[in-house]
Amino acid sequence: MRPQSLGREVTMNPVFAVVTAAGSGTRLGYDMPKALVELAGETLVERAVRGMQVLPEIVGIVVTAPVEVISDFEKIFEGVPEVCVVPGGTVRQLSVYNGLLEIPNLAKRLGYELTDSTPILIHDAARCLTPKRAISDVINALLDGCKAVLPALPVTDTQKIVDSKSATSSGIEIEKVSGQVDRAQLRAVQTPQGFHWATILEAHEIGAKRLRESGVDATDDGALVEQLGGDVYLTLGSEMSLKITTKLDMIIASELLKRDDLRAEQ
């Protein structure tokens, strides 16, 4: 089922989102953008957008797409005024920044006015099974005054620190352990990550300048806020919010879609 125009009434607390969909599908084994790969008959980007559209607070979504196939994405969302497609960048950070720059235009077309505290969500199309509860928690924390909120899960595996890499006499690659991290203090961050408009725009403007000067990009939007000295808070994520990157991830996601009991628990 393709995303459709919802014809919503103007809401008092509008939320806008950027869905990043400019990544390649190489590790999935496809010669196409990952977001256009189908999961149970529907592309990842369609699933991700529909998953956000079910929340009435989310009134506008910007999708970032690979420049060379942007028309394919535009066709998917043709006739859906709440969704617009813009070119992605060479790295994720630039794609998000391109999406953010389009939000004021989208808001104006839809009849909304952005304020410094307008909630903005940044989501990965590859996390297309993220449940409503996980998204709502981020939005509500933003409305409660937090300026940067990330969904996350406790880390369950033991975490080791390594300091050298070598090989055995038979050629097996090995790494030497130098310590262990207390996993109780660790969290695995997911998306959608949420921010106040003024906070994330400033973070990405400075981040873009740093990227041009150093060539180092941030794979996590919350990290850009941290670099400015801003407070970042975590809400409880969901095991359904797995990031589809490999063929194994696709298999797991396909099985999850068959389990109504698991989806309901999230």
Q: Which tokens belong to 165?
A: 């890499």
Cα–Cα distance for residue pair 122/155, rounded to 1 Å: 22
Q: Is the pLDDT of residue 266 over 50?
A: no
CB 66 within 8 A of CB 54: no
Which tens digits make up the pLDDT trace of 16-46?
Answer: 999 999 887 777 878 889 999 999 999 999 9
**In the predicted model, what is the mean pLDDT of the chain?**
92
Amino acid letter for position 68: E
Terminus-to-terminus CA distance in the chain, angstroms? 22
Judged by DSSP in three states, 55 sits in coil
* Rounded average pLDDT over 75-94: 95
Check residue 8 and report its DSSP letter. Answer: P
CATH H superfamily, domain 15-152+187-265: Spore Coat Polysaccharide Biosynthesis Protein SpsA; Chain A (3.90.550.10)
Which tens digits make up the pLDDT trace of 172-226?
Answer: 999 999 999 999 999 999 999 999 999 999 999 999 999 999 988 888 999 999 9
Residue 58 has phi, psi (to 5 degrees) of -85, 105
Element spanning 19, H or E? strand 15-20
Cα–Cα nearest to 253, from 39, 37, 27:
39
* Rounded average pLDDT over 235-243: 96
